[in-house]
A and B are shown apart, each in its own frame.
Chain A
Amino acid sequence: MRNLIFFISKYYVFFLFFALEIFSFVIIYRFNNYQKASFVNYTTGVTSSFYSTISNTKQYFNLRHVNDSLQLENARLHSQLITSYYENKFTPKLVNDTIYKQQYEYIPAIVVNNSVTKRNNYLTLNRGSDHGIVPEMGVISENGIVGIVMNVSEHYCTVLSLLNNNCKISAKIKKNGAFGSLVWDGSDPRFARLLDVNKHVPISGNDEIITSNFSTIFPEGIPIGKIYSHSLDAGDNFHTIKVELNTDFGTISSVYIIRNLIKDEQKNLENSIKK
């Protein structure tokens, strides 16, 4: 026993180091999955308010760009207004709208922190549990998808960017409906890869990539990007597709968080099968 105590007291630095290292690996292992990433929840509130102060200053330099993109979006929305359409056909008015039940709600948010050059990138937005944000909500910009909400504090949330190793988004090719999963390979923030598209599917350049209807996070048909290049290696069952992303992650500043109003229903139903 005395020898043991002597041994420990002699190498106590090593044991201290070892214990802390094990502790960090446990954290990494436990919270690497973004659904379980509650560890960072504790710190999100503090660090985000710090980031938002910086962001407030930085936004002034971006105002011109924000104005431009808002103007563009306004123009696009104006052109979609009912008043911009020539009514071609008589439509009967419905009194009680039971055919269309609203499924998705959009909450505007401002990006207060962002990165694009790390291997795993995250964003911080100025909306939190006070505004009804919960983890696993989708985030889109006016051009395309951005990521998935990961941690939520009272006034802020952190978002797993599409530019992240842990982010996999179900996508499909608009023209023929072939689906695959979209991942980022860590080299260029303008491009991502679309995996698992079978080789019998015909593919041509510039095909549009949109979100598929498989996920409960994003509505179907949100634009993601265009096919930039594609190839099929001999003996490979899947296409190698490089996708040019619509969203410019480097300049992103205003985004929308998507709330799926009937997501729980779908999830519960799907979980009941697994049991």
Chain B
Amino acid sequence: MILETLLYLLRFIVILFIQILLINNIELSSYVNPYIYISFILLLPVTVKPWQIVLISFFCGAVMDAFSSTPGLHIAATNFMGFIRIHYLKATTTKEDIEGRIAPTLSQKGIVWFVFYCFVMTLIHHTILFFLEIYGFQEFFSTITRIFFSSIVTVLLIVIGQLLFYHSKTRNG
């Protein structure tokens, strides 16, 4: 259990490093700002308690806020996404999933389920984040465009990450 926690902590640091060092420096367009750090919360095992999810996503957002000098934007978005995740998983996981203590990953749940799950979560997160960033409804359509394209790229990057790093797990599971 402790080993597992440490592994997840390590993964959190690695994802954060990728987000801050790499993704934040890729300047594709002002409409594409992917935030892949949310995949850490998305990929936590189903057995993690709901209150832990809420606290972890709060902490996750706080760290991102510190690194992007924004006050509370990432906390609000990530925290909300974490809360939705609890209910989304409650509705879509089976008893076997919970008994098997699986993580909602691509190899465990299949590509259709995973992509849809990621897309819904990312869309929620990005919508809150980008609207709070502009702090109002001026520039409404450009914000919508920004949310849409950033979400697509985020999901794409998360799926690519899954295909690269979690492929071997299919044999075990």
Complex contact B142–A117 (CB within 8 A): no
Determine whether B105 belongs to the interface, using a CB cutoff of 8 Å to chain A.
no
Determine whether B113 belongs to the interface, using a CB cutoff of 8 Å to chain A.
no
Interface bin, chain A: 35 or more
Task: Chain B residues near A16: list those with CB within 8 A.
Answer: 51, 54-55
Determine whether B137 belongs to the interface, using a CB cutoff of 8 Å to chain A.
no
Determine whether A120 belongs to the interface, using a CB cutoff of 8 Å to chain B.
yes
Determine whether B134 belongs to the interface, using a CB cutoff of 8 Å to chain A.
yes
Bound CA–CA A37/B66 (angstroms): 12
Task: Chain A residues near B80: list those with CB within 8 A.
Answer: 17, 21
Task: Chain B residues near A122: list those with CB within 8 A.
Answer: 68-69
Bound CA–CA A216/B70 (angstroms): 25
Determine whether A189 belongs to the interface, using a CB cutoff of 8 Å to chain B.
yes
A-B contact count (CB 8 A): 108
Complex contact B72–A27 (CB within 8 A): yes
Determine whether B50 belongs to the interface, using a CB cutoff of 8 Å to chain A.
yes
Task: Chain A residues near B146: list those with CB within 8 A.
Answer: 119
Bound CA–CA A28/B65 (angstroms): 11
Determine which of A12, A24, A50, A165 lies in contact with B134 in the assembled complex, contact meaning CB atoms within 8 Å: A165
Task: Enumerate B50-96 residues with CB–CB distance to A below 8 Å.
Answer: 50-51, 54-55, 58, 61, 65-73, 75-76, 79-80, 82-83, 86
Whether A32 contacts B67 in the complex (CB less than 8 A), given A13-B50, A21-B76, A188-B30, comes out as no
Chain B, residue nearest A189 (CB)? B30
Bound CA–CA A78/B30 (angstroms): 38
Bound CA–CA A97/B83 (angstroms): 67
Bound CA–CA A268/B67 (angstroms): 35
Task: Chain A residues near B83: list those with CB within 8 A.
Answer: 13-14, 17, 21
Complex contact A117–B30 (CB within 8 A): yes
Determine whether A247 belongs to the interface, using a CB cutoff of 8 Å to chain B.
no
Determine whether B139 belongs to the interface, using a CB cutoff of 8 Å to chain A.
yes
Whether A32 contacts B135 in the complex (CB less than 8 A), given A13-B50, A117-B28, A119-B30, comes out as yes
Determine whether B44 belongs to the interface, using a CB cutoff of 8 Å to chain A.
no
Complex contact B134–A119 (CB within 8 A): yes
Residue in B24, B65, B71 with the greatest tally of chain A CB atoms within 10 Å: B71
Determine whether A106 belongs to the interface, using a CB cutoff of 8 Å to chain B.
no
Determine whether A182 belongs to the interface, using a CB cutoff of 8 Å to chain B.
no
Task: Chain A residues near B54: list those with CB within 8 A.
Answer: 13, 16-17, 20
Complex contact B66–A46 (CB within 8 A): yes
Determine whether B21 belongs to the interface, using a CB cutoff of 8 Å to chain A.
yes
Q: When each residue 125-144 of chain B gets 1 if its CB lies under 8 Å from chain A and 0 otherwise, what string results?
A: 00000101111000100110
Complex contact A43–B66 (CB within 8 A): yes
Other A-B pairs beyond A17-B54, A187-B30, 19, CB < 8 Å: A17-B82, A20-B55, A21-B76, A23-B75, A25-B72, A25-B76, A28-B72, A30-B71, A37-B71, A39-B72, A40-B70, A44-B69, A47-B66, A116-B30, A117-B33, A124-B69, A158-B69, A186-B134, A250-B27
8 closest A-B pairs (Cβ-Cβ)? A27-B72, A31-B71, A43-B66, A24-B75, A24-B76, A13-B50, A24-B72, A28-B72
